[in-house]
Every structure is written in structure tokens, then in C-alpha cells.
Structure 1
Amino acid sequence: NGFWVGPVEMKLEDYFRYSDQAREERPLYLFDPKFAEKVPKLGLEYEVPVYFQEDLFSVLGHERPDYRWIIIGLAGSGSSFHIDPNSTSAWDAVIKGSKKWVLFPPDLIPPGVHPSPDGAEVACPVSIIEWFMNFYITTKTWKKKPIECICKAGEVIFVPNGWWHLVINLEESIAITQNYASRSK
């Protein structure tokens, strides 16, 4: 069974072999929504934090959209600006490493990001590193600034419904993330 690494499926041992040798600006990022089906023990190795246990999507059973992922990435890998799908909120627990997060509230589109009028498609024509080099500094002069933080191993971050967010691994990192829908939004 392979894991999803970008657009390709790869055995975990092959991903780790790649990660030992990779020296590129945009390293591949393992982001797999079926990890618990592929390795059931992994799905049982954690509990959903108490604050995030109400999940209205759970009533859908097997029809539920993808909602949890294991994420493994090298320093410099990550996820460019997006809003999580299906009006969900999310939590992300860092198991190993550290991640820098930059979050913008729903009414504040990050510079360099171009959503379609309905918000269904998002174009961010630059890499995460290019975004930090070309746009990040401009946000420092804004009256309404983004929220930024670094999450380290053992820490959990909450991403509210509708918030733009970018994540970059500051070092080789492993995390579990899960989307959910609650009455409190």
C-alpha cells in the first residue's frame, strides 16, 4: 500500500529514501487521507482532543468526505494558502518537528492569492518560499495583520472555518490533521 505524496502514490520506505536525499525548493509532501485504512494501528494511535469531538459529518458514516490526514514533510515543504473545504474547521497536532502557520480571517484575502468569485478555486502562483520573500513583509504594515505562530511537537493548533492559512515545515515534521463540522463553527 502506497501513501499519497503530492500527485503520486509511493511506498513509505521510498518516501523516506527520497527525503534523505532531497535538496529542492519545493520538496514533496506526504499528505494521505486514507492512512488509517492503510495502517489501522495509526488511526488508533491518537484521540481527537476533547474540544474537537463534536463532528456533524460523522453521521455520514462511509459517505463522509475525507477528513483526516497524516502529514509528513521535509523542511520547506508545506501547504500554500487555502480555506478548508465543506465549511469545516480543523485541528493539527504536530508529532515531530515544527511548523510555521500564517492565518488570515475570512474577510482578509492574503496578498498574492487570487480566489475565484465563488471561492471554489484558489490560485497562488508562487511557492511558499516565494510568498514569504515577496508578500510577507507587506502584511507587517497592515492595520489588520495575520495571526502567526510556530507549532512544535506536542502542540495542537485550531483553524477556524473560513480562515485562510499557509503552513511551512521549519524542519522535518510529522503531524495529524483533522477537519470537522460543529454547531459552534
Structure 2
Amino acid sequence: MDDWIASKHWVSSNGRPNLIFFPTHFGKSKVQVADCDTREFTDQKRIEMSVSEFVNHWLQGSMENHDVNGKSVLYLKDWHFVKEYLEYQAYITPLFFTDDWLNLYLDNYHMHDDLDADRVSNDISCSDYRFVYMGAKGSWTPLHADVFRTYSWSANVCGKKKWLFLPPQQFNLLFDRNMKNTVYNIFDDISETDFPGFKKAIWLECIQEQNEIIFVPSGWYHQVHNLEDTISINHNWFNSYNLSWVWDLLLRDYKEAKEYIEDIKDICDDFEGLCQRNLAANTGMNFNDFFIFISRFSLANVVELYYLRGELNSENSIWHCSAIIKHFALNLSSIRKTALKMKSEGVKGNLGIINLLETLSDPKFLKLCTGLGRIYSVIHEEENWSCTMKKALMADFAKYGSQVCSPEDLITFIDYAVSKLSSNCDEQNPLLSVLYEIQPHEQN
């Protein structure tokens, strides 16, 4: 982190936040700020202000006693700094966290293709999930699990945080008797009548210092307190390894949304459509959004495999042992398993039409492929490759020419692609072994 521009510009010589830098360079930016002293439903009350206004409030508070003057402790959260200042390059995403499908996708597409749905869920379905957080000593974030049940990482540019974690195996202890609401602040006087399991929870506590990075696995509830004036950089993301967490959350929230309005089912012209709109508004995506997401990524992974087969030569042993090949195969395996889970839940019909030929000619999709290839070329220290070459290599495969409209279609497409990629392979086939979990002796 020492070589990050953020570590040089945002931190004073005494190690504290260089607050004057922000209004000078980013002062007009509009940001969401949490009032740490005011609860609003399940979160802190949010207000919008400019960065200059926020810094002025912070500086005034540091010169005064909050308890005396009654001023609230404010916490700037979820500032989409990367999207707003593309040229600034405040930091470099650590290698361990670069396999990020969520933000790569949102750099090229909206989560909702329906603009009306975008407006409905504007606060949740945002431009990306790369954030800057800034808060004075005493600012904090209530107990929560991250959006979409993503992974997250948080880097302290300066300051100190206290984290309290609870693993997924204990999450039921945080809910009330009806399993509807969770504890807001674990340091409150929690009613044993309302939350009968709370006292049994075993918390993991961690102090995060300046220049340290915390990784939060999917589904871990956590509460965070700034022990000093702090600036941090946070990402939420998911990839093939935690894709199932995203689907499980969507399914759970869908069932809750459906149950909540069940009494109007008989008088509603499009009950399922209403359920999906509510799901998008509350969770940030619906079944259609998720299906289009995994369909595009399945095609992107296939494009990369086709390119690599041509580049490495399918007759060459490198094709069978390359780590990057196995990585793409694992990605397809995860998507296929998720599509099978969707199918088993009765999800069918025209969720979203992905025309393979049209998608292959879409500049946004080619950018997605380039980004995906770049991620794994960095991880596996391979060279980058061009969209033009990949498009040419896919010409033969494009004759498949089918539309993907349902989880069953997606499974069929992946199976077809793997069969084409596996043709003329006499040796151990990494695609088959990874995708279908076949042992080497079972491939003949």
C-alpha cells in the first residue's frame, strides 16, 4: 500500500487523514453520509452532502466536544470514487482480490437492462461496488452481512478499526424469534426475549491498523468501529467461488417478497412480475438480472477457452496442464451448478434472451472478455490477448447460433461448448474432469 497514490496524498506526515486535500481536489462531489447517532429502519440515517461540507463538519467536530454541542458523528460511506475519478488511480487492487466479476460486469453493463427498474432500485443497483469510506474517531457501521453476500476487502489508508465477526454457522443467533430482524448494535442491551440466541454467539475480534487489509468471506456478519480518524478503501465482489451464495440469497429474498404480498396474488395481473420488481428493489437484482449475468460470463469464459486452445494448440500438452485452463473450467463448472440449482427450483421460461451471435458482436461484451482475460493473465502470469483474435477464433463456434433463455438452455450451451472444446483430445481432459468432476480413469 505504500506505493498507492492514496497513501501519499490522503495521509498527513503525522499519519492522520489529510482532510484539506479532499475539498481542494474533490470538494464538489456529492456523497452519501451516515449519521452514526440516528437509526433509520435497519441502518443509520443517510444524508447527501458535498465532500467539502462533510470535511467542514468533521473539522468543526474535531475542535469541539460532540457531547456538549450535540453534533452527530458523520461517516462518509459508499463513495464511488473509482467511477467518478477514473484518471486519478488512487490505488491498485491487490492481486488476491482481482478475480472480481461484479465490478468487471458493472464497468460494461447495468445490472438492470430495464431503465425503470434501474430507477426503482437506484440506491442499491449502483454503478459499481468500489468505495471510499471516511470517518472520524467514533464513527461506526452497524451489524450486517454484505450486499449479495459478496466477499469484501477493506484497506486502511490511515487510522485504526475494530472489527467484530460472526461466521455463517452462527448467523441464526442474531435473529429474533420470527427470524425476520437481526440485532442492530451488538453493544446495545439486547433483549433475551426478543433475541433468545444472541448471548450464545461467539465473536471474533480484530484490530486493523494503517496499511493493513481485511478480507471478509461471504455470509460473515460484522460490525465495525473507527478507533481513530480513518480513511479506507472497500470493495465488494463475487466470482465463481461464491456465486452460489448470491443465488441462495436471491432465492431466499424472493420467497420472502412473494410471501409478503401473497394476499394480493388473486387480484394482481402480473404477480410474478411484481415479485421480481420487489426483489430487484430490495436486493439489488432479480432472477432475470442474475441469469443474464451468469449467461454472459459463461460465454465469456468459453471465448477465453477457445482462444487459448488455438493459442496453445489442443494437441500440445500445455492445453491439458495449464492452470489458466483449469481456472476457466472451474468458472464454467460453478455457473453450470448454479444453473442446475435454478432449474431444480422450477426457474424456467424467458428469463432473459441472450443471442450468442449478437452478443459476440457487442463491443461491451468484447470489453468484458478482454477484462476477464486480463484478470487471469495477471493471476497466472500469462500474456494478454486481443478481442479481435478471440472474435475470429469464435467464428466456427458461433454457428451454434442459439438463444439462451432459461437455466436449462444455459446448461445445454455449456455442455455443447465443452464438447466442442474437448474434441480431438486424446489425453486427460481438464475441462471434463473439472466440469463434471470426472476422475481421469473415467474419461475413456
Query: What's the TM-score bracket when you normalise by the shorter of the two chains?
Result: 0.7 to 0.9
Change over 3 Å in CA distance of 1:152–1:176 after alignment to 2: same
> Which residue number corresponds to residue 47 of structure 1?
92
Q: 1:102 aligns with which of 164, 172, 193?
A: 164
> Which residue number corresponds to residue 138 of structure 2?
76
Residue correspondences, number: 172
Matched, 1:19 2:58: yes
Question: Contact 2:80 / 2:129 at 8 angstroms: preserved in 1?
Answer: no
Q: Aligned partners of 1:110, 1:100: CA distance in 2, in Å?
A: 23
SS at match of 1:80: strand
Question: Contact 1:101 / 1:165 at 8 angstroms: preserved in 2?
Answer: yes
Q: CA deviation at 1:160?
A: 0.3
Matched, 1:32 2:74: no
Question: Contact 1:26 / 1:76 at 8 angstroms: preserved in 2?
Answer: no
Q: Aligned partners of 2:155, 2:178: CA distance in 1, in Å?
A: 30
Change over 3 Å in CA distance of 1:62–1:123 after alignment to 2: same
> Which residue number corresponds to residue 62 of structure 1?
109
Q: CA deviation at 1:98?
A: 0.5
| Larger-Rg structure | 2
> Which residue number corresponds to residue 151 of structure 2?
89
> Which residue number corresponds to residue 182 of structure 1?
239
Q: Aligned partners of 1:97, 1:84: CA distance in 2, in Å?
A: 22
> Which residue number corresponds to residue 14 of structure 2?
none
SS at match of 1:47: coil
More strand as a share of residues: 1
Matched, 1:5 2:51: no
> Which residue number corresponds to residue 187 of structure 2?
132
Change over 3 Å in CA distance of 1:107–1:115 after alignment to 2: farther
Q: TM-score if structure 2 supplies the norm length?
A: 0.35
Matched, 1:157 2:202: no
**Which runs of 5 or more structure 1 residues have no equivalent in the other structure?**
136-140
SS at match of 1:17: helix
Residue type of the alignment partner of 2:56: R
Partner deviation per Cα, 1:154-174 (whole Å, 9 max, x = no partner): 000000000001000001100
Question: Contact 1:99 / 1:171 at 8 angstroms: preserved in 2?
Answer: yes
Matched, 1:169 2:226: yes
Question: Contact 2:163 / 2:205 at 8 angstroms: preserved in 1?
Answer: yes
Q: Aligned partners of 2:72, 2:173: CA distance in 1, in Å?
A: 20
The percent identity for this pair of structures is 29
More helix as a share of residues: 2
Q: CA deviation at 1:115?
A: 9.7
Change over 3 Å in CA distance of 1:15–1:113 after alignment to 2: farther
SS at match of 2:138: coil
**Which runs of 5 or more structure 2 residues have no equivalent in the other structure?**
1-28, 35-45, 112-124, 191-198, 243-444
Q: Aligned partners of 1:183, 1:115: CA distance in 2, in Å?
A: 34
